[in-house]
Amino acid sequence: MNEKKADYPYLVASSVVEEFRRKGFVITNDVFTPSILDHYANAVDAEVALRTLGDDRGIGEKTTYEQSFVQCMRLWETNEVVRALSCDACLAGIGAQLLGADGLHLWQDQALYKESGGRETDPHQDQTFWPIGDADLVSAWIPFDAVTFENGAMAYVPGSHKAGGLKPVDITHSTEPYDILADPALKGVAPEWVSVNPGNVVWHHGFTVHQASANTSPKLRRVFTVVFVAAGSRRTKPWPAFPLDRAKVPVGGLIKGDGLPLVWPVPNQQPSAPEVVGVAVGPQFQLDIESKARGPTS
């Protein structure tokens, strides 16, 4: 073990790193103890409840996109307990090991709560949503409950991250979503379904094609995700992107600034929340129409 590795609060076996780099996704076991996970799950539950207060619609009354999940983004900015989860040194250290990065910025977090009766999440790549080119990006998918095919498990196309950015998929269904699984670059490789127990975390690369099954169970599927981007990455395109526009990152500029804190190496102080926050529920796309000055943190 070299000195640098000894600094990681959670050391990832080289076979796990190798699997991530080969397949574009991997599970890390026992990242959270049951009591710590419970502590965070309660905080995320409370924040989601606060943000969705007054929305009494049944699943059938929601848009196609909303039927995939209740989406609440950047909870770390409005809840101090969730901030500790999204800036957790174990998570950030694992992300750094998987990407082989010296530093990581927090790109976003979000609760993705798939309701009973919720539809599938359409196959897509995350990274093509954002003007960040081929920056190294990794996502931690953190279930608060056991997840199987019956209640909204994820499936990943092994090796698909090596294809780079394919045509973006409009998972919001504002337009007909591209059938990315039929993209010739994927060579017909079938997605692999992954069941996961709470405490374990599934990681996927920003270019890995993934989807989630419908929730046919009677219970809510509670998942929280944290996305990290390698330090030194730059904005590549001018089109709107909430976190980049908020931090005033120009094309060619480094991805950093207000709302994009460095979380690896572990900072001396927990990052502070940005001055301006985005919409409480749903995707945060555009700064000008969606943002407001932050109220008191809960």
Nearest residue (CB) to ligand AKG, 40 versus 141:
141
Please, are residues 163 and 206 in contact by the beta-carbon 8 Å criterion? no
Q: Which of 71, 225, 233, 291 binds ligand AKG (CB under 6 A)?
A: 225
Nearest residue (CB) to ligand AKG, 8 versus 85:
85
Q: Which of 223, 226, 249, 279 binds ligand AKG (CB under 6 A)?
A: 223
Each residue 8-47 as x (binds ligand AKG by CB under 6 A) or -, in order, gives: ----------------------------------------
CB of 172 to ligand AKG, least distance (A): 12
Interface with ligand AKG (CB under 6 A), residue total 12
Nearest residue (CB) to ligand AKG, 93 versus 118:
118
Q: How many angstroms separate the Cα of 195 from the Cα of each of 21, 71, 235, 293?
A: 20, 21, 34, 39
Please, are residues 232 and 122 in contact by the beta-carbon 8 Å criterion? no
Report DSSP state, residue 27. Answer: E
Buried b / exposed e across 110-148, counting CB within 10 Å, b at 16+? bbbbbbeebbebbbbbbbbbbbbeebbbbbbbbbbbebe
Nearest residue (CB) to ligand AKG, 73 versus 223:
223
Short-list 152, 60, 53, 150, CA closest to 112: 152
- Closest-by-Cβ residue to ligand AKG is 212
**Counting Cβ atoms within 10 Å, is residue 240 exposed (0-12), middle (13-18) or buried (19+)?**
middle
> Within 51-70, which residues bind ligand AKG (CB under 6 A)?
69
CB of 148 to ligand AKG, least distance (A): 13
Nearest residue (CB) to ligand AKG, 78 versus 225:
225
CB of 30 to ligand AKG, least distance (A): 21
Nearest residue (CB) to ligand AKG, 97 versus 225:
225
Does 114 participate in binding ligand AKG (rule CB under 6 A)? yes
Does 111 participate in binding ligand AKG (rule CB under 6 A)? no
Does 141 participate in binding ligand AKG (rule CB under 6 A)? yes
Does 147 participate in binding ligand AKG (rule CB under 6 A)? no
Sign of torsion, CA 150 154 158 164? positive
* Cis peptide bond N-terminal to 274, omega within 30: no
Please, are residues 86 and 44 in contact by the beta-carbon 8 Å criterion? no
Q: Which of 112, 163, 214, 230 binds ligand AKG (CB under 6 A)?
A: 112
How far is it, in rounded angstroms, from Cα 97 to Cα 14? 9
How far is it, in rounded angstroms, from Cα 19 to Cα 98? 9
Does 160 participate in binding ligand AKG (rule CB under 6 A)? no
Question: Can you give the binding site for ligand AKG, defined by CB under 6 A?
Answer: 69, 112, 114, 121, 126, 139, 141, 152, 210, 212, 223, 225
